[in-house]
Structure 1
Amino acid sequence: MNQQIISAVVSEVLAKIKQENLGGSVAAPAVVSRPSKRMGVFDTAEAAAQAARKGQEQLRKKGIATRVEIINLVKSICTEKAEEWGKLEFAETKIGRLDHKIAKLTGIKDIPGIEWLNPYSLSGDNGIMMEEYAPFGVIAAITPVTHSVPTISGNIVSMVAAGNGVVFNAHPGGAGCAADAIAFFNQAIYNKTGIENLVTIIEKPSLDSFNDLCKSSYVDLMCVTGGPAVVNAAMQSGKRAICAGPGNPPVVVDETADLDHAARSIILGGGFDNNLLCIGEKQVFVVDSVHSQFMDAFKRAGAHFLPRENMKKLAGEVFTYKEDGGGCSHPVLNRDYVGADATKLAQVAGTSAPAGTEVLFGDCPGDCPFVEEEQMMPVIPVVRAKNVDEAIELAYQSEHGYRHSAIMHSKNLDNLTKMGQKMDCTLFVKNGASIAGLGMGGHGYANFSIATTTGEGIVTTQTFTRKRRCVMVDSLNIIR
């Protein structure tokens, strides 16, 4: 799937909902009123976790065929409700692009299910052995505001396919749309299978409800998609934790790259949902010998150039500086600008950009806050490097050892190898947009929890299982 295909998909979605410029200044629809009692929605963490335990016990008795029914149901609901739920999430969170929120929900159908649970077996002189994948029980899933309903939906597919129940503690900024989705999923699952409260959620999530889940005897596993603070808390909970932590994905462009393709790819990935994706291109390091040509290619591809004074003004508005306790200060992102449109950010920078602009970019020094911080805005700083070795080193430093994602545009296999080995990231995309790492324009599968901190990578059904071995000694081996 290349840029034209993705654009066609988005255009089809836009035609369906009969609106124009949904990625720009669309008015947020009113949030619908919500009934007080909804299946799967609870006031406390303990009640939600206990209900999920009962739901999981029902699922266990009904077997794998019922899991397949449920995940197919969830996938079809996400496709059917993509427009409605995309609007609800956009209205509540007020970040990103509506067309891309809808596209993320329509992509849930491609997340793998029980096909990842094929058992492994051996047969020999001493008998037979089979290893299979067993559920943990109940998983407490912490989800972000950046992809509230898509993350919840993807988690349900993977976790329920593995045989688990789930209790969600959503980010407060996206808790309303998340609770709506959970209530709808539960009612549909109950109608289809008779299982009640298989996936639950805390209606008004908080740090206290998160801590309660960490301590709950009903919770067997934590899955966290969020920033460093919540990841660290989960890892100190005493429970096993699967943690999708922060990223700051750099891009390196060397002298052999197809510059026009590189520019289009960076706009496609870095501009997707206004750069809310943790894998999205955040900063670019370009070899000096092709720097000017790349900047021209970026402009031709549709990115809007900001002179250095405007980039500096924008940085002054969207970042503040905080003392770290050791006598040094570091930039802190103003969350009010996360996921903002490029046209709005251009105004903040003291200038303007044409309607429909997806990405702003500017020539920046290596210590620019847009380089150092995971800013989650469609603003791409471009840093000049003397050669490819310096570019890779600068990229490595800017990623801060998160080992999350990195991108390189090059036709030199030695340079690509050098970059991959140096970065040692969970996702390394070569000559494509970052979203190719999630199967959009590249070969592979998607999910919105990417466990970089704990090393599981893009989560699958298998991620949420325990490996169990069954051995039969001597008997049943008929081959001699």
Structure 2
Amino acid sequence: MTALDKDLASIQEVRNLLTAAKSAQKTLAEMSQEQIDRICEAIAVSAYEAREKLAKMANQETGFGLWQDKVVKNSFASKFVWDSIKEMKTVGILNEDKEKKVIDVAVPVGVIAGLIPSTNPTSTVIYKALIAIKAGNAIVFSPHPNALNSILETVAIISKAAENAGCPKGTIGCMVKPTMQGTAELMKHQDTSLILATGGSAMVKAAYSSGTPAIGVGPGNGPAYIEKSANVPLAVKRIMDSKTFDNGTICASEQSIIVETSNKAIVIAELKKQGAYFLSSAESLQLEQYIMRPNGTMNPQIVGKSVQAIAELTGLSIPKDARVLIAEETKVGHKVPYSREKLAPILAFYTVENWEEACELSMEILHHEGAGHTMMIHSEDDAIIRAFGLKKPVSRVLVNTPGALGGIGATTNMAPALTLGCGAVGGSSTSDNISPENLFNVRRIAYGVRELDDLRDESPQVSIADSKINEEQLVEVLVERILAKLH
């Protein structure tokens, strides 16, 4: 008997998973808020207990980042996210306005396709499963092939916990044979209600062109502006903490630093003090060759790698205690690697004369790549902070906080999320940090409060053209009608 073609096998697997998920979701949709919350809590607890095991698996399998930081990510995706959403009303009647006579009812979207990247594989599975089920949906995952084993193990752990808590079998599914054709089938299938896409630009574009409603996330490329009023040591610490966290694999992490001529020297001195290594012109050119591939995409060989690993790859000789590599840059563009997203501990360094120039440079950087995502400002001047917030083409302007952790809502009070919407300017359907509230529709039950006669009575009945009366007469007529209504 001839073995089934790999692509065909993947497509059939997706169809089977979707059939099971659709059936399970019908049962899930009938459950109470208490039952749903019990399932979500079980998922969060099981994932939190396995946080270290899953972090090590992801690190060993992908070679990206630091397992210690992936433990933090798994903790964030499970315990932190659950604590933030557990009181959220997502089932049945959400709100009843007795005065306006309108009732809001939560309606699950159905079956969600969850696309998972290799940079944050286990934490993204935990997070997406939690927010999907909290909103009454089933979810089928398309795992990145380079993180397949750690993703499958995560799914196995949380599925078992969910089912033990009463979740219908099949609510959480995952492709075991991921192929591009299988993922395409998952996105385009009639039983898929919504795509939740986290990954590269090509994948996000495929999600939006699938014909299925999608929430996708484009690339980040956030500049960090250290304005002259900033607390420089603290600003530098936050940037260094962010850019070295899991070796820079979070898309909200800083990609460039912008300083003013007036504070350039003190910022450089502080960066060096905290472990940044400034590349010479020759070293900068040497590293530049490895940041992007010939087709203009990020080189996966540097993604999530340490400074030491990058130095070994590129032949650079750098101090052993260096934490981040920095190259001074003056240009911006598709063919200027330092001005683009680098999911590694590498930063561009720009100098401007004042905050107005910083404003324009930030927008230039973002419009070339990263529009709609995130930028950072370190400042004590509220007027400048507000000016940045009003003009920047991003969905998140983070103030005096690390970009990576502030963007996902860990060090800010934004919704905790590992999928960050980029808004219309970034080609996304929303600018939100994605939460359960993005994953259900609202049905409104609205009682009638007016009759057609009421609408006619409220409409102007006098026309100057028709009545041929002058302005004074028109005013008299309108005043009489108003007084009549009052009496």
Task: Provide the TM-score with structure 1 as the length reference.
Answer: 0.84
* 1:72 maps to 2:37: no
Residues 356-435 of structure 1: pairs in structure 2 closer than 5 A = 357-367=322-332, 369-400=336-367, 402-434=371-403, 435=405
Identity %: 22
Q: Is the 8 A contact 1:274 1:358 kept in 2?
A: no
Judge which range, 443-452 or 358-367, deviates more.
358-367
* 1:110 maps to 2:80: yes
Aligned partner of 1:27 in structure 2 is none
Judge which range, 58-67 or 143-152, deviates more.
58-67
Residues 76-155 of structure 1: pairs in structure 2 closer than 5 A = 76-107=45-76, 108-111=78-81, 112-117=84-89, 119-124=94-99, 128-155=101-128
Q: Is the 8 A contact 1:456 1:463 kept in 2?
A: no
Q: Is the 8 A contact 1:277 1:376 kept in 2?
A: yes
Of 305, 316, 327, 1:350 maps to 316
Aligned partner of 2:23 in structure 1 is 54
- Alpha-carbon distance in structure 2 between the residues aligned to 1:114 and 1:433: 26
Matched position secondary structure for 2:29: helix
Judge which range, 113-122 or 383-392, deviates more.
113-122
CA deviation profile, 1:252-281 (whole Å, cap 9, x unmatched): 112211111111011011111111101000
Matched position secondary structure for 2:301: helix
**Corresponding residue pairs, total:** 423
Q: 1:389 to 1:301 in 2, by over 3 A?
A: same
- Alpha-carbon distance in structure 2 between the residues aligned to 1:196 and 1:458: 29
* 1:455 maps to 2:420: no
Aligned partner of 1:255 in structure 2 is 228
* Per-residue deviation, 1:296: 0.4
- Alpha-carbon distance in structure 2 between the residues aligned to 1:285 and 1:349: 28
- Alpha-carbon distance in structure 1 between the residues aligned to 2:87 and 2:372: 28
Q: Is the 8 A contact 1:167 1:201 kept in 2?
A: yes
Matched position secondary structure for 2:165: helix
Matched position secondary structure for 1:416: helix
* Per-residue deviation, 1:69: 0.9
- Alpha-carbon distance in structure 1 between the residues aligned to 2:272 and 2:232: 11
* 1:469 maps to 2:439: no
- Alpha-carbon distance in structure 2 between the residues aligned to 1:278 and 1:375: 9
Of 176, 195, 202, 1:229 maps to 202
Judge which range, 373-382 or 55-64, deviates more.
55-64
CA deviation profile, 1:62-92 (whole Å, cap 9, x unmatched): 3222210111111111210011111111111
State the one-letter code of the partner of 2:391: K
Judge which range, 449-458 or 150-159, deviates more.
449-458
- Alpha-carbon distance in structure 1 between the residues aligned to 2:430 and 2:235: 29
Q: 1:311 to 1:250 in 2, by over 3 A?
A: same
Matched position secondary structure for 2:224: strand
Q: 1:98 to 1:369 in 2, by over 3 A?
A: farther
- Alpha-carbon distance in structure 1 between the residues aligned to 2:165 and 2:146: 31
Q: Is the 8 A contact 1:42 1:201 kept in 2?
A: no
- Alpha-carbon distance in structure 1 between the residues aligned to 2:225 and 2:167: 52
- Alpha-carbon distance in structure 1 between the residues aligned to 2:328 and 2:387: 25
Q: Is the 8 A contact 1:250 1:281 kept in 2?
A: yes
- Alpha-carbon distance in structure 1 between the residues aligned to 2:383 and 2:177: 52
Matched position secondary structure for 1:263: helix
Q: 1:113 to 1:432 in 2, by over 3 A?
A: closer
Q: Is the 8 A contact 2:36 2:134 kept in 1?
A: yes
- Alpha-carbon distance in structure 1 between the residues aligned to 2:192 and 2:440: 14
Q: Is the 8 A contact 1:447 1:459 kept in 2?
A: yes
Structure label with greater radius of gyration: 2
- Alpha-carbon distance in structure 2 between the residues aligned to 1:450 and 1:349: 35
- Alpha-carbon distance in structure 1 between the residues aligned to 2:167 and 2:357: 60
Q: Which runs of 5+ in 1 are unaligned?
A: 1-40, 323-330, 475-480
- Alpha-carbon distance in structure 1 between the residues aligned to 2:202 and 2:414: 30
State the one-letter code of the partner of 1:384: T
State the one-letter code of the partner of 1:113: I
* Per-residue deviation, 1:473: 5.5
Aligned partner of 1:317 in structure 2 is 290
Q: 1:286 to 1:174 in 2, by over 3 A?
A: same
State the one-letter code of the partner of 1:402: A
Aligned partner of 2:299 in structure 1 is 334
* 1:287 maps to 2:253: no
State the one-letter code of the partner of 1:425: V
* Per-residue deviation, 1:360: 1.9
State the one-letter code of the partner of 2:330: P
Residues 11-22 of structure 1: pairs in structure 2 closer than 5 A = none
- Alpha-carbon distance in structure 2 between the residues aligned to 1:437 and 1:316: 29
Q: Which runs of 5+ in 2 are unaligned?
A: 1-9, 423-427, 450-487
Task: Provide the TM-score with structure 2 as the length reference.
Answer: 0.83
- Alpha-carbon distance in structure 1 between the residues aligned to 2:86 and 2:104: 15
CA deviation profile, 1:88-125 (whole Å, cap 9, x unmatched): 1111111111111111111121113353336222123x
* Per-residue deviation, 1:358: 3.0
- Alpha-carbon distance in structure 1 between the residues aligned to 2:102 and 2:297: 54
